[in-house]
Amino acid sequence: MALSSRWTLSQVTELFEKPLLELLFEAQQIHRRHFDPRQVQVSTLLSIKTGACPEDCKYCPQSARYSTGLRAEKLMAVQQVLESARRAKAAGSTRFCMGAAWKNPHERDMPLLEQMVAGVKAMGLEACMTLGALSESQAQRLARAGLDYYNHNLDTSPEFYGNIITTRSYQERLETLEKVRDAGIKVCSGGIVGLGETAKDRAGLLLQLANLPTPPESVPINMLVKVKGTPLADNDDVDAFDFIRTIAAARIVMPTSWIRLSAGREQMNEQTQAMCFMAGANSVFYGCRLLTTPNPGEDKDLHLFRRLGLNPQQTAVAAGNSEQQRRLEQVLATPDTDAYYNAAAQ
């Protein structure tokens, strides 16, 4: 995928070197030009297939290569996924994200994944998936099912990437983003702070994202959640100000993207989260778990939103049309069958 030249590495690096308060001021000004500064978009993330992933991402407890005590689980039944989506909408989420621990989905998975997307859309929620690499035909099928967003993170800079992952190249990740974009699906892509990278690597990650032909509509910025048994379990803690700088720089170089506080919020205090919102973050994952890691509960988040004067975004997607509603009712009325095989068996 060819990158544009909207930003240079030196320009993005300079943002990380700015005095923090000046950086926050610039980021907040840009944020206010493009978004309601009091609005926060709320998403819920569900692991629809957990563990037994063949990849070697050193931060991930779902990799089959590490002993983290995580029990592999089969692909969830469509009805079970849609019931979780109903609860997410009732709790205030406007986007429902479904994640599977795969290198890529098998063709046999696609009909079930399409049903999940169609059912979520029929509830009036935005639908997002993260399933690993996609082929062109898989991206097109998910688009036809109604998928709004596809998440595929770049994780870090191209230069540091090989220290974290060897089973998938950086170019493969860029190619998946291109297939998603070409299929008409919005792109969700970000990275992780705390992998052992330098500030220059963080700048390099943001440079890659901002200089995509079209920057991602959604950019999740994760703080490493250290899990015992993974190679990064003993990494140094991330300095809060360094994390806030990354949020602010992301807002400046991608002014129209949703910048999401993603994994790691459970280990942030309210003051750090407040400064992240001041730096331009305007989206969070909502609910007590993110795939397999802890996350603040809905009540805790609502309390923080009230204290900061933030308003969760209201559902902007109309409920599905009559055909989508009919399909949803049909799926919910269908009992589980052998179609729900153990997808954890690789």
pLDDT in tens, 271-319: 999 999 999 999 998 764 444 454 456 678 888 899 999 988 775 444 4
At 192 the three-state DSSP class reads: strand
Query: Is it the case that residue 16 has pLDDT exceeding 90?
Result: yes
> What structural domains and CATH numbers belong to the chain?
12-333 (3.20.20.70)
* Cα dihedral across residues 16, 192, 152, 312: positive or negative: negative
Instruction: Output the six-digit token pair for 296.
Output: 């603040």
Is 288 labelled as part of a ligand binding site? Answer: no
* Cα dihedral across residues 276, 282, 283, 284: positive or negative: positive
Query: Is it the case that residue 346 has pLDDT exceeding 50?
Result: no
Catalytic residues: 53, 57, 60, 97, 128, 188, 260
Report the C-alpha gap between 252 and 241 in whole angstroms: 16
Report the C-alpha gap between 282 and 35 in whole angstroms: 9
Average pLDDT of 237-250? 97
Per-residue confidence (pLDDT) for residue 260, from 0 to 100 = 94
DSSP state of 194: -
Is-contact 216 260, C-beta < 8 A? no
Query: Is it the case that residue 11 has pLDDT exceeding 80?
Result: yes
Query: Is it the case that residue 36 has pLDDT exceeding 90?
Result: yes
Report the C-alpha gap between 178 and 172 in whole angstroms: 10
pTM score:
0.86
Report the C-alpha gap between 198 and 212 in whole angstroms: 22
Is 260 labelled as part of a ligand binding site? Answer: yes
Is 276 labelled as part of a ligand binding site? Answer: no
* Cα dihedral across residues 330, 333, 334, 340: positive or negative: positive
What pLDDT, in 10s, does the model give residues 326-342?
555 555 555 444 333 33
Instruction: Output the six-digit token pair for 170.
Output: 């950086």
Pairing of strands 311-312, 39-49: parallel
Per-residue confidence (pLDDT) for residue 265, from 0 to 100 = 87
